[in-house]
Amino acid sequence: MLLFGVGVVVNRNPVASALCLVVSFVGLASLFISLDAHFLGIIQILVYTGAVMVLFLFIIMLLDLKEEARRALNAWAVAGGAVVALCLVGTLLHVLGTFPKGEATLPPLVVPEGQTYEDTKALGTLLFTEYVFHVQVIGLLLLGATVGVVALSKKEASK
């Protein structure tokens, strides 16, 4: 998965980058599922791979973007980016080194007798009781985005 992540960055062809990203997201979803977050894993695939990445590919193909292949990479940017990335990784390793809780291995889930762990149900319950207000905010966000997409893209009839 990480390799495909790198692939997104190093591929000169946008389509290839996008496909790498798809694979990366699928890998991420499998990690979610390995962490017992089944619902999120599925959503990740449905939304990201199913909708978002399709949109990306759609746009890339529509715009016919192969131009960057002809442009040289900025060596300074690459070098600088690499340095910054290395610094970040170093920092991360340092932080993780001081994080004793991180050594824990996956603890088993404790499910009460006679029940099954259904995370969709648990999340749904939480979502529509405690966080029902947040759902409305998301609704407004989607509304704003819809209006924005239409206003930015729709050509008004010029008659």
Partner 1 sequence: MTALLPATILFLPLLAAAKILLLPKPMKGLAPAVSVGSVVLTLILSLVLWAKTGSDSTTVTLGSWINLGDMLQLNIGFKINALATGMMLVVTFIGTLVHLFSLAYMKDDDGKARYFAGLSLFMFSMTGIVLADNLAMMFIFWELVGVSSYLLIGHWFEKNSAAEAAKKAFLTNRIGDFGFMIGILMLWKATGSVTFDGIESAVRGMTVDPGWLTAAILCIFCGAVGKSAQLPLHVWLPDAMEGPTPVSALIHAATMVAAGVYMMIRVSFLLALPDAATAAHVIAWTGGLTALFAALCATQQNDIKKILAYSTLSQLGYMVMAVGLLAKEAAFFHLFTHAFFKALLFLGSGAIIYACHHEQDIWKMGGLARKLPRTTLTFLIGTAALIAVPFVTSGWYSKETILHAAHAHGGLLFYIGAGTAFLTAFYMTRLCVVAFLGTPRAHGADHAHEVPKIMLLPLVILAVPSVIGGFSFFAGRFLTLPPADHDHASHVPMIASLIALASGVSLGWLLYRGRDRDPVRISLLARKFFIDELYASLVSWGQDAVARIIHYVDILIIDGLGVRGLSGLAAVVGGGLRRLQGGNLQAYGFLFGCGVVVLLFIALSLH
Partner 2 sequence: MGTLNGYLLVSGLLFTIGLTGVMVRRNIIIIFMCLELMLSAANLTLVAFSRFGLVNGLPNHHGQLLVFFTITVAAAEVAVGLAIIVALYRAKQTVHVEDLKSLGG
Partner 3 sequence: MAEIDNYHAVLLQLLLVIGLAATMLGLSVLVGRAGRRNAIKDSAYECGMLPIGDSQPRFSVKFYLVAMLFVLFDIEVVFMYPWAVVFRDLVAQNAMVFWGMLSFVGILTVAYVYALKKGALRWDN
Cβ-based nearer residue to partner 3, 88 or 149: 149
State the helix-helix crossing angle for 2-10 and 14-34, rounded to 10 degrees. Answer: 160
Cβ-based nearer residue to partner 3, 78 or 127: 127
Cβ-based nearer residue to partner 3, 87 or 117: 117
The alpha carbons of the chain give a radius of gyration, in whole angstroms, of 21
Please, what is the minimum distance in Å from the beta carbon of residue 47 to partner 3?
A: 6
Closest CA to 68 of 16, 14, 8: 14
Q: Of residues 54-83, which lie at the interface with partner 1 (CB under 8 A)?
A: 74, 77, 80-81
Q: Of residues 91-110, which lie at the interface with partner 1 (CB under 8 A)?
A: 91, 94-95
Please, what is the minimum distance in Å from the beta carbon of residue 156 to partner 2?
A: 14
Q: How far apart are CA 47 and CA 24, in angstroms?
A: 14
Please, what is the minimum distance in Å from the beta carbon of residue 85 to partner 2?
A: 4
The answer to whether 43 and 15 are in contact (CB under 8 A) is no
Coil vs helix vs strand at 130: coil
Interface with partner 2, residue 140, by CB under 8 A: no
Q: For partner 1, which residue of 3, 9, 47, 84 counts as binding (CB under 8 A)?
A: 84
The answer to whether 41 and 79 are in contact (CB under 8 A) is no
Q: Which does 94 bind (CB under 5 to 8 A by kind): partner 2, partner 1, partner 3, none?
A: partner 1
